Amino acid sequence: MSEGRTPPGPSRPVVIGITGPIGCGKSQVARWLAELGATVIDADTVARGVTAPGEPAHDEVLRHFGPAVAAPDGTLDRAALGRIVFADPARLRELEAIVHPAVRPRILDAIARAQRDGAPAVALEAIKLIEGGLAGLCDQVWLVTCDTAAQRERLAGRGTGPADAEQRIAAQAGLVERLRPAATRVLDTSGPAAETRAAVVIAFGEALAAGR
């Protein structure tokens, strides 16, 4: 924990950060935590919100990346932007430098709302939880992993084409190794869903107990 926050307990929810490569089941883990009573905050959803038309970050992204990411109506073409940033790590870092500062205050507000609502826990799902500086908001960091075959299958199930899937997987090469030292817990979701859910239930109970 950082930022001088009080320990988790009756007055503050336990904050669990969920991170890991694309297609490894972060969102499913978050859904299971929601079933167990946690309030879920999806950083990707927040990022889409701060880059929506009318938001300052929307116009800043358009100015920075230019006509290549503009739709015919002048709004941000997210698919075009995705093709650019997933093909070039330097361009991805440029995008993150615009978006991350806008995302953080909204996540802090969402955590504060969960506290006011009396939530026992918050699950903060973010692929860039650590690199984006959000891990400091968390009591625990769960790294969600899976084998490459499961990753490809899940991306295909979302309608991601093979070439696009390979590009996105390649863009995150070495991510697990980089994140592992910061993880409180590693959850491998390669096996049957029932086994993974059972592991999540145990991990959640231990996180709540540690926060009391």
pLDDT digits (tens, 9 = 90+) for 92-106: 999 999 999 999 999
Is residue 7 domain-resident? no
pTM of this prediction?
A: 0.85
Residue 1 has pLDDT above 60, yes or no: no
Task: Specify the CATH number for the domain of residue 168.
Answer: 3.40.50.300
Percent of the chain with pLDDT over 70: 94
In a domain, 8, yes or no: no
What element of type H or E holds 157?
A: helix 148-157
Which carries the bigger pLDDT value, residue 2 or residue 57?
57
Calculate the average pLDDT of the chain: 90
Q: How does pLDDT run across 72-89, given as a tens digit for each residue?
A: 999 999 999 999 998 898
**More confident of the two residues 77 and 173:** 77
C-alpha–C-alpha distance, residues 23 and 179, integer Å: 16
- The answer to whether the CB of 14 falls within 8 A of the CB of 122 is yes
Cα-Cα-Cα-Cα dihedral of 5, 55, 132, 35, to 10°? 70
Enter the tokens of residue 20: 């890991």
103 lies in a domain?
yes
Residue 122 is assigned to a structural domain of this protein: yes
Are the C-beta atoms of 93 and 85 separated by less than 8 Å?
A: no
Q: Which domain holds residue 32?
A: 14-211
Give Cα 79 to chain centroid, integer Å: 19
- pLDDT for 48-69, tens place per residue? 999 999 999 999 999 999 999 9
Task: Look at residues 18, 23, 22 and name the one whose alpha carbon lies nearest to residue 186.
Answer: 18
